[in-house]
Structure 1
Amino acid sequence: MVDFGVAELTIEMVAESQMGLKALGAGLAVGLTGIGAGVAEMGIGSAAVGATAENKDIFGLALLLTVIPETIVIFGLVVSLLILF
């Protein structure tokens, strides 16, 4: 019979594994929402700069539309905190 050296799982090992997976999930929640917001702001930001260059009165609206994708990152942060705690 071949022994592969597989140890018995203890309670501590399972708890540490669960904590590691929680941290991985929290990191993915923040990281993926950050990437998504960056991709969204890429298009919105360039359009906002172009619109502002043509009409200075639209600056406030352009700034508001640029800030909206950042709320997605805040939601990702809230989800990650809920996962961890």
Structure 2
Amino acid sequence: MEGDIANMGQFIGAGIAGLGTGLAALGVGNVAGNFLAGALRNPSAAAGQTATLFIGIAFAEALGIFSFLVALLLMFAV
């Protein structure tokens, strides 16, 4: 009985950690959407901001990958 409750806690924690991957996708969409909004307002400055765009996307995606790894560790760690 005690092992079942521990397994349930593992899977609930992994599910909550797995939400981070979906939230990271929303973050990437937010970064790209704001870049496009700014690029449409001032197209001449858009070329200078592409490096910032890729850095923002990389940070948001890295958080999603870390969240995915935490979910895997919670599910399969002994």
Is TM (by shorter chain) over 0.5?
yes
Higher relative contact order (CA closer than 8 Å, sequence separation 6+)? 2
CA deviation vs aligned residue, 1:4-58 (integer Å, no higher than 9, x gap): xxxxxxxxx3212311220121111011x12432332333111122344512343
For residue 66 of structure 1, report the CA deviation from its aligned partner.
Answer: 2.0
Structure 1 unmatched ranges of 5 or more: 1-12
- Deviation, structure 1 residue 69: 0.8
In structure 2, distance between residues paired with 1:63 and 1:51: 15
Report whether the alignment pairs 1:42 with 2:29. Answer: yes
Structure 2: segments with no counterpart, 5+ residues? none
Higher helix fraction (1 or 2): 2
- TM-score, normalised to structure 2, is 0.66
- Which structure would you say has the larger Rg? 1
1:1-85 correspondence to structure 2 within 5 Å: 13-31=1-19, 33-53=20-40, 54=43, 55-84=46-75, 85=77
Q: TM-score under structure 1 normalisation?
A: 0.63
Q: How many residues align?
A: 72
Identity value in percent: 17
What value does the CA root-mean-square deviation take over the aligned residues? 2.2
